[in-house]
Structure 1
Amino acid sequence: MPEAMSEDELRIRAAVELNRQAPLLRDIGARFAAAGHQLYLVGGSVRDAVLGRLTTDLDFTTDARPDVVQALMRPWADALWDTGIDFGTVGIGKAGMRLEITTFRADSYDQVSRNPQVRYGDRLEDDLVRRDFTANAMAVRITADGPGDFLDPLGGLTAVRHRLLDTPAAPEISFGDDPLRMLRAARFVSQLEFTVADRAREAIVAMAPQLARITVERVAVELDKMLLGADPVAGIDLMVQTGLGDVVLPEIGGMRMAIDEHHQHKDVYQHSLTVLRQAIDLEEPQQSDLVLRWAALLHDIGKPATRRHESDGGVSFHHHEVVGAKMVRKRMRALKYSKQMVDDVSQLVYLHLRFHGYAHADGTGRWTDSAVRRYVTDAGPLLPQLHKLVRADCTTRNKRRAARLQANYDSLEERIAELSAKEDLARVRPDLDGNAIMQILGIPAGPLVGQAWNHLKELRLDRGPMSPEEATAELLQWWSARDTD
């Protein structure tokens, strides 16, 4: 959004956006007006309208108490939920849209937990001043005629015009009330590409340790939203530079101490940010990939722990992918991510260097069938993301070396395609199943069947598909050797 756009022009743009939802806004406005209650579109919804990016999620505030809101909305809504009722919020589904209507709030905080002492207010102004940032503290009156007066008592339009995040109250009070707002600033820097006002940034630096008061589940939600933003690198860098990262993701800032072995970048931290940018560039259009972005950011977090100064003056990070995968598991589990998320991100980190060790020993650069099968099998459904991560991890400024790495990976993908045309690489399994193994060996179900199955799978990976006769001969040979041992 050009900064030259005036506040009047921003209001006009917001009006154009809101008019697209005029029928719904008139309908809901009429219901509240008939009942003698005020209704305002508020917060991120107004900000997004000003930015020309209004979504189907709309936030409202009202002087009506929650039970009244429920009574007014129940005959009208397609769906009604009360998961936020303790905080005065009623959720509504209507015509594919998600609405939240919250009673005016005038909460007080104990400055210890983030849980407010919920207190309903009677004035819009009291509700707006308790919001996180001035850009989110604008409102539009909703009446039976639809969108009405644009209300901006705290300078939200000016903040949006200058792409600036500042707090309605003194930042020390705002962040003390709810320290999550500091991390939310990093999220908005990423999502909206705003900058943080000097006084707010200074307060974040001074108060960053208070973020530890926030539950890890809430922290994880903000981290995900930040990573999925338009410029996650800016959000991450704000987090690291202000000390927020030391509280929730200390491994990221810790990479600033590890110099890359090729001296391509100031440090591994900057390299990782570059890999994140390049991974985002490789995403499918309009399909942000949270797993890929997490893996790109964390792929080298094992380097500080594995750094070694070599006798030739270089620096090595042997097995940093193994150490890094373990660190990813530990951190993401601490943040209470799902098992699937932890498994996927850690597996990509573990595999991100595998490509470099698969060239054939004869120096031709030809990939063996066995190596290709194992690469595909170990990656499993993560293979498309692994392709992107490995390509993004090429950040050398040496154009010849970069071209060689990309050409080598092109060769690997061609080999995968060639083998996939001959056999099902996505599901490499032994040529005999468990029932056949039990029948041939005359053994019951148990650990021995699993051992035989694993042996046949290793052969399948090394040699490719075998006929039933070949597989049977190999199984009997393995069994005979096992008996003689």
Structure 2
Amino acid sequence: MPNQKNHKQALELPIFKIISQVATSLQIDAYVIGGFVRDYLLQQQVPVKDIDVVAIGDGIELANQVAKSLPLNTKVQIFKTYGTAMLLHNGIAIEFVGARKESYQTTSRNPEVKPGSLEDDQNRRDFTMNALALSLNTSNYGDLIDPFNGLKDLKSKRIITPLEPKITFSDDPLRMLRAIRFASQLQFKIDPICLDAINKNAERIKIITNERIVDELNKIL
């Protein structure tokens, strides 16, 4: 597993330079975050199917301007409810979102969303290994941003949440099933504190629709 702070070699796909250039022209910072970064650091030889980009600013505008820099007919799907946008490029689904912080009601997994910093956005991620980010900014292109020691958790094959597990799982109970899925797929161990929080929040799964539960279970099997 790569140890260095800078990982420019992870960003060899031309689309990353395009996003970087567009973000610079818009004077906003942008980062790759989530599964792409995790899988690269795990050195998993899997085809890239999706990339998540977080912008410190208007993620939808970034997506629109990136699409204009790509061949004609690149369409952007906008999901206003969640403040996200997605485009398809060379078979890769690229999702753009403005950095945000979230707060939840006890009766729903749909959050109230406010603009936030990169760390706010990393805070809201399900697990530390999925909160890892790579900079697309010209000043530190390829630098790993890891405020929660996600790289250390990857190396120790440990699944743990950025925030208190009871908060993370109560806010979005589907994450409990995601913990089990990642443990199964990656052969990782769920941290005992997380396991305890899963047991204590098991009843919260009732607020999740059956369709979402079945979808997550199918990914486990």
Q: TM-score, normalised by structure 2?
A: 0.90
Higher percent of residues as helix: 1
| Partner residue, 2:207 | 213
Higher RCO, 1 vs 2 (CA within 8 Å, ≥6 residues apart) = 2
- Picking from 2, 27, 39, the partner of 1:36 is 27
Query: CA RMSD, aligned part only?
Result: 2.0
The answer to whether 1:86 aligns with 2:86 is no
Q: Could you tell me the percent identity over the aligned residues?
A: 34
| Partner residue, 1:164 | 158
| Partner residue, 2:196 | 202
Using the TM superposition, give the Cα deviation of residue 174 of structure 1 relative to its aligned residue in structure 2, in angstroms: 0.5
How many residue pairs were aligned?
216
- Residue identity opposite 1:20 in structure 2: E
- Residue identity opposite 1:79 in structure 2: K
Using the TM superposition, give the Cα deviation of residue 80 of structure 1 relative to its aligned residue in structure 2, in angstroms: 1.4
Using the TM superposition, give the Cα deviation of residue 158 of structure 1 relative to its aligned residue in structure 2, in angstroms: 0.6
Using the TM superposition, give the Cα deviation of residue 192 of structure 1 relative to its aligned residue in structure 2, in angstroms: 1.5
**Distance (whole Å) between structure 2 residues aligned to residue 66 and residue 144 of structure 1:** 18
Using the TM superposition, give the Cα deviation of residue 74 of structure 1 relative to its aligned residue in structure 2, in angstroms: 3.5
Using the TM superposition, give the Cα deviation of residue 146 of structure 1 relative to its aligned residue in structure 2, in angstroms: 9.0
| Partner residue, 1:103 | 98
Using the TM superposition, give the Cα deviation of residue 143 of structure 1 relative to its aligned residue in structure 2, in angstroms: 2.9
Deviations 1:340-374 (A, max 9, x none): xxxxxxxxxxxxxxxxxxxxxxxxxxxxxxxxxxx
SS in 2 for 1:107: strand
Deviations 1:231-276 (A, max 9, x none): xxxxxxxxxxxxxxxxxxxxxxxxxxxxxxxxxxxxxxxxxxxxxx
**Distance (whole Å) between structure 2 residues aligned to residue 145 and residue 80 of structure 1:** 28
Higher percent of residues as strand: 2
Equivalent residues of 2:159, 2:179 under 8 A apart: yes
**Distance (whole Å) between structure 1 residues aligned to residue 220 and residue 141 of structure 2:** 31
Equivalent residues of 2:67, 2:76 under 8 A apart: yes
Using the TM superposition, give the Cα deviation of residue 50 of structure 1 relative to its aligned residue in structure 2, in angstroms: 0.4
Equivalent residues of 2:179, 2:190 under 8 A apart: yes
- Residue identity opposite 2:51 in structure 1: L
The answer to whether 1:61 aligns with 2:89 is no
What 5-or-longer segments of structure 2 have no aligned partner? none
| Partner residue, 2:12 | 20
**Distance (whole Å) between structure 2 residues aligned to residue 135 and residue 66 of structure 1:** 22
SS in 2 for 1:106: strand
Using the TM superposition, give the Cα deviation of residue 129 of structure 1 relative to its aligned residue in structure 2, in angstroms: 0.9
Using the TM superposition, give the Cα deviation of residue 124 of structure 1 relative to its aligned residue in structure 2, in angstroms: 0.4
**Distance (whole Å) between structure 1 residues aligned to residue 150 and residue 137 of structure 2:** 22
| Partner residue, 1:47 | 38
Equivalent residues of 2:63, 2:96 under 8 A apart: no
Equivalent residues of 2:60, 2:98 under 8 A apart: no
Map 1:296-335 to 2 at 5 A: none
What 5-or-longer segments of structure 1 have no aligned partner? 228-485
Deviations 1:416-473 (A, max 9, x none): xxxxxxxxxxxxxxxxxxxxxxxxxxxxxxxxxxxxxxxxxxxxxxxxxxxxxxxxxx
- Residue identity opposite 1:38 in structure 2: D
- Picking from 134, 137, 151, the partner of 1:140 is 134
Using the TM superposition, give the Cα deviation of residue 71 of structure 1 relative to its aligned residue in structure 2, in angstroms: 3.5
Residues 60/19 of structure 1: CA separation in 2 closer, same or farther (3 Å cut): closer
Equivalent residues of 1:138, 1:156 under 8 A apart: yes
| Partner residue, 1:431 | none
**Distance (whole Å) between structure 2 residues aligned to residue 52 and residue 186 of structure 1:** 21
> Radius of gyration: which is bigger?
1
- Picking from 121, 126, 135, the partner of 2:120 is 126
Deviations 1:137-175 (A, max 9, x none): 111100358942111010100110011100111001010
Map 1:291-440 to 2 at 5 A: none
Deviations 1:256-299 (A, max 9, x none): xxxxxxxxxxxxxxxxxxxxxxxxxxxxxxxxxxxxxxxxxxxx
Residues 159/29 of structure 1: CA separation in 2 closer, same or farther (3 Å cut): same
